[in-house]
Chains A and B, each alone.
Chain A
Amino acid sequence: DGGITQSPKYLFRKEGQNVTLSCEQNLNHDAMYWYRQDPGQGLRLIYYSQIVNDFQKGDIAEGYSVSREKKESFPLTVTSAQKNPTAFYLCASSIDGGLSYNEQFFGPGTRLTVL
């Protein structure tokens, strides 16, 4: 059963803590993406990776970090430097980030709340 999984579904963070959100895909896609969604706003790109061991900052990368050691996995760490991390986080993938006709497929999301 192919798809994108994100875990956990809900995550609570205390002030000053780093937390890591998991994203795994078994679609054999090269490109993976992390977005943040706030109420009443569209999705905003945090980081993206077009290939293993390579990633680029999106529009709102400050306070976040990523790694891409495996094709299937693209974890996102929300660091204590992110001042307003409460949001819904969505991971996506596409066959190849450089191809114009690519559709992006999304995971179910992780809701992060700062206590």
Chain B
Amino acid sequence: KQEVTQIPAALSVPEGENLVLNCSFTDSAIYNLQWFRQDPGKGLTSLLLIQSSQREQTSGRLNASLDKSSGRSTLYIAASQPGDSATYLCAVRAAGGTSYGKLTFGQGTILTVHP
């Protein structure tokens, strides 16, 4: 059974810092990995999607990497801003079998960027 873990559970940093959020998964048979942002009481916004054949994806100040063989992904946020404060979730998509296409989520990292 796929399990996804995110470390740290919470992170508080001053504005301007570069930071790294970690995501690990137990079953490397995945099709892709997706990073989401969730603001309090809101739905999820997709940030980046990395296919299993890719090593990284970039969007603005965000860079996500994927090491499928070791079951790890990182989300790098450059020059953090107070507006980046949110919960960040990673999710992996199963590659086959009865779990085909299913997303398994981590518990999330709560990020606070203070001015």
Contacts and interface: CB of A to CB of B under 8 A. Distances in A.
Interface of A: 4, 6, 31, 33, 35, 40-45, 48, 50, 58, 88, 90, 92, 97-109, 111
> Which of A41, A42, A103, A111 lies at the interface centre, i.e. has the most chain B CB atoms within 10 A of its CB?
A42
B106 A42 contact: yes
B51 A100 contact: yes
B58 interface: no
A88 B115 CA distance: 30
Contacts of B46: 103-106
Nearest to B30: A100
Given A45-B103, A108-B42, A103 B89 contact: no
Contact of A104 (B42, B51, B103): B103
B49 interface: yes
B19 interface: no
A106 B105 contact: no
Interface residues of B, number: 27
B84 to A, nearest CB: 19
Contacts of A45: 102-103
B14 interface: no
A71 to B, nearest CB: 18
A101 B51 contact: yes
Given A100-B32, A103-B34, A103-B46, A42 B4 contact: yes
Given A43-B89, A100-B32, A100-B93, A90 B103 contact: no
Given A42-B4, A42-B107, A98-B100, A109 B43 contact: yes
